[in-house]
Chain A
Amino acid sequence: MNKLRTIEQNGCFCVREKKATRVFYLCKGGYGKMEKMKVLAEWSYEPATPMRGYSGKSLKVNVGEQTFEAKDVSEDMKEHFTGGRGFGLKLLWDSVKDTTRWDDPENEIVISGGPLCGVTQYPGMGKFYAVFVSPLTEQTYDSNSGGHFGPLLKFAGWDAIEIQGKADRDVIVFVDADSKKVQILESPFDDVNSYTVTEALHEHFSNPDDINDRRFVTVVSSGKAAEHTFWGCLNTSFWDTHRKVVRLKQAGRGGGGSILRDKKVVAIAVRTHDLSGTANNPADIDTLTKLSQKIHKEIFTLDSKQCRMRTAGTSHLNEIMNEYHLLPTHNYKFGQHSEADKIHSTVYEKMFTQGIADGCWYGCTMSCAKAVDAFELQTGPWKGKKVTVDGPEYETCAGLGSNVGVFDPFWTTETNFYADHYGLDTISLGTGIAFVCECYEMGYLTKEHTNGLDLHFGSKADIMELIHRMAEGKDEFAKIVGQGVHKMKDIFAEKFGAPRDMMEKFGMEGQGIEVSEYVSKESMAQWGGFFLTLKGPQHDEAWLIFMDRVNKQIPTFEDKAEALHYFPCFRTWFSLVGLCKLPWNDVEPADNTTKYPPQEAAKVPEHVQNYVDVFNAVTGKNITKEDLIQQSERVYNFQRVFQLRLGKGTRKFHNIPDRALGPVFADEWEARTEYYDNELKETGTDPAGLSVEEKLEKLNKARRAQWEDLVDAVYKRRGWDRNGIPTVKKLKELDMAYPEVVAVVEKNAKPEDQWKD
């Protein structure tokens, strides 16, 4: 301890190795040496005190020009963009050009939590949303994360932070409310992987005499693989006071980590000791407390009978998805597998340490941030070390499990750890490798192309090796894979002679990003839930499979369109105010289904009203549940116009691969012959006497026609024209007809695309 204190007092950086724990610092100059954290630029500020959920200020740091700027958050911005993702999009809009691409210096990573972010009374209120122009989709992307960064950023005085520019060397941005300074520091790290950087910074920026002082620090970082792929995630840390380790949560999707590393930012760190249950200064703490008591009681009494989030986390979905033919297996070919019992949630439940408060923000009794402790790594640079692994969550169990043909929870846990450490999104990684495996099995790829790797489904050792190669950045094939399915299709065709038309059928991506881990081919509404989204097939807009396919609550195109209006808007609201969606409907009041009719019960009305009341209690406003949807609809349409401004955002970019619509190959049909024969009958074709190939072709043709009908119905309901562009009338209705927004619409909209009726 004395040695550490001396190091900190000297303004130097500690370089050392702790063999018994995960901590393994490697900085410039090698082990056992120290190097100063050189201050490249510094700026003083007076931290604003958050009032009613807003600090009223946003911070812009340009790491290339080494400049700092504080901006006021206007009342107009609060009214029309609310916060979080809304603020991120507004700030990004003001900072980029129409031609901006992901690696241009003016591109930004904007991080904002929203007015409810940091509430500790109600569960699930510690999320931030990162917004940027994505390397995968070449349009705006928003990605969310738990952890402590969003709340601490606000309590350090900032509703949002913009990171712009490109540094000329590796840097760390340090926002320090304690010393009232923002600094750009020269990074001392040779190893920029997340656990290395995060552990070291939590320790460095905290009081060495009190290990739990590390909870006042939080870090956003990525890793080596983010430098060599477009799948870079943003890891967000929090100090686990029970385990005494740093934990990582991820804003995984869209390639934010790749942008961070392209800017040569190793980490963004925040420190503040101004942390309390009322740091948001809510307007009505009594109401907030009262609302919260009821939901905590619900979670404590009902979770064990409902979703078991507190013991299994989201892995409780593993066997459920398998049972309903929704667990992606072998690149979404199948939705079920005979070995799925091996990844049953009860297996993971035993691996997760139980009895620890696993909330990723204070007060979250859902406690779903499960972790595997003392996990001994079997491969890679940390082989033999015992580490704490965050997760695996459902998406990782499926993506780096069944979808790549592996049913080994220990292997999945190891890939989870290294994906986090290297800064890789486990969803894109899983879906991307699943595509590679299918190409390999089809004979489009050989060991010659993969530099010796056998990439059949289930090739555990070689898939693991591919992941390590992505981080090393030396292997050309690994770098091709890391560009994502959309670009792999081009490269495999051009370089390896693979058939483009076939890969188009089973390359599971939309708008340039990989599909998240659910089989959508059985639900027409879910085609839209994935592929009629703002940013590509991610499950954070609308998951409608049960509602559509099992409950049969939305039989017509108009019903589906209504669901594809309401739920994306409702879900968008979480991203504006700083919430996790899980406490909305992964636990429900005991009387939800006896108090409300089915269509209403599906929305969990009591929890919706809770959110309205919490918003009003924090901000002092007086919104209704209808206003909540309008807040979202404003930002939803603004983002759609933003995509249009960047050259996307029209109908042709709402593409859907054949496999998302239905079976592509004979073995997929034959796995469920009776089911698919009935499906074909429902389209008006008698399957009798047809070959499987003929059936596949006819069902695909029918479903393509249904897809176009769905697109029309959804665009109409959303107030968009036939080409998917929001109308000026819609923007005016939403009070979003800013001149620069209308100008983008008027430049692109065509008279022939307007609805006649």
Chain B
Amino acid sequence: MISVNGDSMEWEEGLTVRDIINYKKYVFPLLGVWINDVPVSRDDFDETTVPDEAKVQVIHMISGG
């Protein structure tokens, strides 16, 4: 199990950042991702795997307007 923006989500072997974005239907293009407070570059979303028990933050970068 992992947490994504505070919500629980089932974990599976090989789960990538892109999988999470697709599952959550996060279609907004300006996303910032941190896994256990470590940032992930947008160019690496497809390849970066997420470990079990991870705290994932998928931040939509439109704050304030």
Contact = CB atoms under 8 A, between A and B. Distances in A.
A113 to B, nearest CB: 20
B57 interface: yes
Contacts of A592: 32, 61
A552 B64 contact: no
Contacts of B6: 552
Given A306-B30, A323-B25, A592-B32, A567 B63 contact: yes
B27 A594 contact: no
Interface in A245-288: none
A551 B64 contact: no
B25 to A, nearest CB: 6
Contact of B63 (A552, A585, A595): A585
Nearest to B7: A552
Given A571-B65, A585-B61, A593 B33 contact: yes
Interface stretch (A31-39, A181-189, A540-548, A708-716): A540-548
B65 A542 contact: yes
A73 interface: no
Interface stretch (B12-20, B37-45, B46-54): B37-45
Contact of A593 (B5, B39, B64, B65): B39
Contact of B64 (A323, A585, A595): A585
Given A306-B29, A588-B30, A581 B65 contact: yes
A305 B5 contact: no
Most buried by A among B58, B64, B65: B64
Contacts of A128: none
A151 to B, nearest CB: 23
B34 interface: yes
A594 B39 contact: yes
Nearest to B62: A546
B57 A551 contact: yes
A593 B61 contact: yes
Given A320-B27, A598-B34, A598-B57, A550 B5 contact: yes
Contact of B60 (A539, A542, A547, A603): A547
Interface string A553-588: 100000000010011001100000000010001101
A442 interface: no
Given A551-B57, A551-B60, A319 B27 contact: yes
Contacts of A357: none
A305 B37 contact: no
Given A543-B64, A581-B65, A603-B63, A597 B27 contact: no
A602 B32 CA distance: 9
Given A570-B64, A593-B42, A601 B32 contact: yes
A542 B34 contact: no
A393 B32 CA distance: 26
B23 interface: no
B59 interface: yes
B59 A323 contact: no
A601 B63 CA distance: 9
Interface in A276-320: 305-308, 319-320
A544 B64 contact: yes
A305 B28 CA distance: 11
Given A323-B25, A543-B65, A571-B64, A553 B59 contact: yes
A594 B59 CA distance: 12
Contacts of B30: 306-307, 585, 588
Interface string A358-370: 0000000000000
A571 B64 CA distance: 8
Contacts of A541: 65
Most buried by B among A544, A553, A594: A594
A567 B25 contact: no
A165 to B, nearest CB: 35
B25 A602 contact: no
A156 to B, nearest CB: 31
Nearest to B5: A552
A305 B29 contact: yes
Contacts of B34: 597-598
Contacts of A594: 39-41
Contacts of A601: 32, 59, 61
A566 B65 CA distance: 12
A551 B58 CA distance: 7
Contacts of A546: 28, 60, 62-63
Nearest to A539: B65
Interface string A28-72: 000000000000000000000000000000000000000000000
Contacts of B29: 305-308
Nearest to B44: A594
Contact of B37 (A543, A597, A602): A597
Nearest to A591: B41
Contacts of B39: 593-595
B64 A566 contact: yes
Contacts of B60: 546-547, 550-551
Contacts of A603: 63-64
A306 B30 CA distance: 6
B61 to A, nearest CB: 6
Contact of A320 (B5, B28, B33, B61): B28
A588 B27 contact: no
B27 A323 contact: yes
A539 B63 CA distance: 12
Interface in A411-455: none
A675 to B, nearest CB: 13
A541 B60 CA distance: 18
Contacts of A581: 65
B11 to A, nearest CB: 19
B42 to A, nearest CB: 7
5 contacts: A307-B30, A551-B58, A571-B64, A593-B39, A604-B61
Q: What 8 pairs between A and B have smallest CB-CB spacing?
A: A593-B32, A567-B64, A602-B63, A546-B60, A543-B65, A594-B39, A547-B63, A323-B27
Interface of B: 5-6, 25-34, 37, 39-42, 57-65
Given A540-B65, A592-B32, A598-B32, 19 more contacts: A305-B29, A305-B42, A306-B29, A307-B29, A323-B25, A539-B65, A541-B65, A544-B63, A547-B64, A550-B60, A551-B5, A553-B59, A566-B64, A585-B61, A588-B61, A593-B61, A594-B41, A602-B59, A602-B61
